[in-house]
Chain A
């Protein structure tokens, strides 16, 4: 910005560069405030989007968590209820047996001759009670069985009389043993509702979903692989210190000068499966970066940002005999091992040194294909997609984001 020889005319006009203290008019301030409001809104928007997706992720995660664990709890509850039912059914059967034997004992106490007589007398009493006009002969026997529900007696008698002949003592005994009286309804308060089920098999309890036994399995494994890294950069439409032309040149130079690259991956993993659900963690090594070869300056090479991360992945496996397919998704958070990189300067005449984020998050989605070699050993082949959460490089005009697609193979040991 130095002009050695100044023309007097230029000098005259350069006085226009002198500042005159002046305040902005209200119209200027009003217009500015509107522009600043718009800028503030624009700034808030990515923040809102970030919060929205974070909340969505949290809801999905907690939803799947509750879905998984509530099913588990429900299964446990059902098992508990079934146990309880079994216990009460057993108690009920016992009580029924007690009641039946008590009835026969009670009958035989007043009619000690035979059990058949009890049945016959009951038959009489029942017919009198059902017709609501009891005869004097039958009333005595009815009174005798008064502590027992009348309806029960009716059913008892009908069952016995259905044989159309005087039942043999053995026959009656057999029938008596199959009588089931609802024990709850034996109290006097529920006399009207008493039901005696005759000649029916023991009622079957509602079929509970029999919970399958929880199968927990652990696995450790090693996987190696190769990934293709796709690098992308964000460049603002304009910058105060660069003209549109400079920005365009910078963008084009980067577009042509930076290319995708590949990297080795390594995964030392531990997994736990509960039934078909899988949880995976471990140590995950991978790289981000790109190849550089700018035409305008003699800089070439590869930027590599190496990360060692701890993933936490949730998956579900589908079994097809010896082959198992398990889609996984989750996040990894890791420390940068190599953070230095270089890019062309915005003025395209030098190199800018940059440093990648020291700690970075990564989204991981993978489809694990397993081949079961034997009960302990499994071969895996896994296509993996990774995406760095947010820009990994964010240094003034150098803003880089990464994603990768790779394939890992390895072995798992199950125990």
Chain B
């Protein structure tokens, strides 16, 4: 399914044509809301971050050079979430843990069970905020620890530590569902 918008639509949206902006919103919405749901429980919070990100999309549409539009939108919402996280002063929690983390060798988790999107989301949202943020960036969005460390202004060790803690918690949750 090709979800990339036409250039004409982008130009009209950048020019401030409301109908084009709403059509573009419709197109970006799945990307935006799926990211928002991974980070926030609350619908109001999801709405704020989704719409703020889309306003930034419109605001900087003239700077967008042709390429993968939805990847660009994804990056915008990721940065918006990071900024939002820091604005709400929950940022300090990330600095609490700076112990060295042992690199794991082979993956030690196996499951055949199939989980729905909602179940996975619920498990993800049960993580602490810093762990959720780092795990989302690392495991789901595919950033490296180095990139996460740069984006969040923490050390790589901190990023790894939060990923490890998130995995541990998620494993427990999956095991609980099994039982």
Q: What residues of chain A have their CB less than 8 Å away from a CB belonging to chain B? A: 1-3, 5-10, 12-24, 27-29, 31-33, 35-36, 39-40, 43, 238-246, 396
| CB-based contact A9/B144 at 8 Å | no
How many angstroms from the CA of A43 to the CA of B117 in the assembled complex? 40
**B75 at interface (Cβ–Cβ under 8 A)?**
yes
For the complex formed, measure the closest distance between the CB of B37 and the CB atoms of chain A, giving whole angstroms. Answer: 8
Of B26, B57, B144, the residue contacting A23 (CB under 8 A) is: B26
Interface residues contributed by chain B, number (CB under 8 Å): 60
Give the 4 A-B residue pairs with the shortest CB-CB distance, closest first.
Answer: A10-B139, A240-B76, A1-B142, A240-B56
Given A240-B75, A240-B76 in contact, is the A16-B34 Cβ separation under 8 Å?
yes
CA distance A243 to B87 in the complex (A): 12
B144–A32 touching, CB < 8 Å: no
CB of B63 within 8 A of CB of A396, answer: yes
Which residues of B are at the interface with A, using a C-beta cutoff of 8 A? 3, 16, 18, 21-22, 25-26, 29-31, 33-34, 38, 47, 50-60, 63, 75-76, 79-80, 82-83, 86, 104, 107, 109-111, 115, 117, 120-121, 124, 135, 138-144, 147, 150-153, 167, 170-171, 174
Query: Could you show 17 A-B contacts with beta carbons less than 8 Å apart?
Result: A1-B142, A7-B167, A13-B139, A13-B140, A14-B140, A16-B34, A17-B34, A22-B29, A23-B26, A24-B25, A24-B29, A33-B18, A33-B22, A35-B55, A43-B16, A238-B56, A244-B83
**Is B120 a contact partner of A13 (Cβ separation < 8 A)?**
yes
Given contacts A9-B109, A17-B141, A35-B55, A28 and B117 within 8 Å (CB-CB): no
Look across to chain A and name the residue whose beta carbon is closest to the beta carbon of B33.
A22
Q: CB-CB < 8 A to B80: which residues of A?
A: 240
Contact A9 to B50, CB < 8 A, known contacts A15-B120, A20-B30: no
Contact A16 B86 (CB under 8 A): no
Across the interface, name the chain A residue whose C-beta is closest to B74.
Answer: A17
- The smallest C-beta distance from A185 to any residue of chain B, in angstroms, reads 76
| A8 CA / B59 CA spacing, docked (Å) | 38
Contact of A29 among B22, B34, B57 (CB under 8 A): B22
Q: Which residue in chain A gives the minimum CB-CB distance to B137?
A: A1
Q: With a CB–CB cut-off of 8 A, which chain A residues contact B22?
A: 29, 32-33
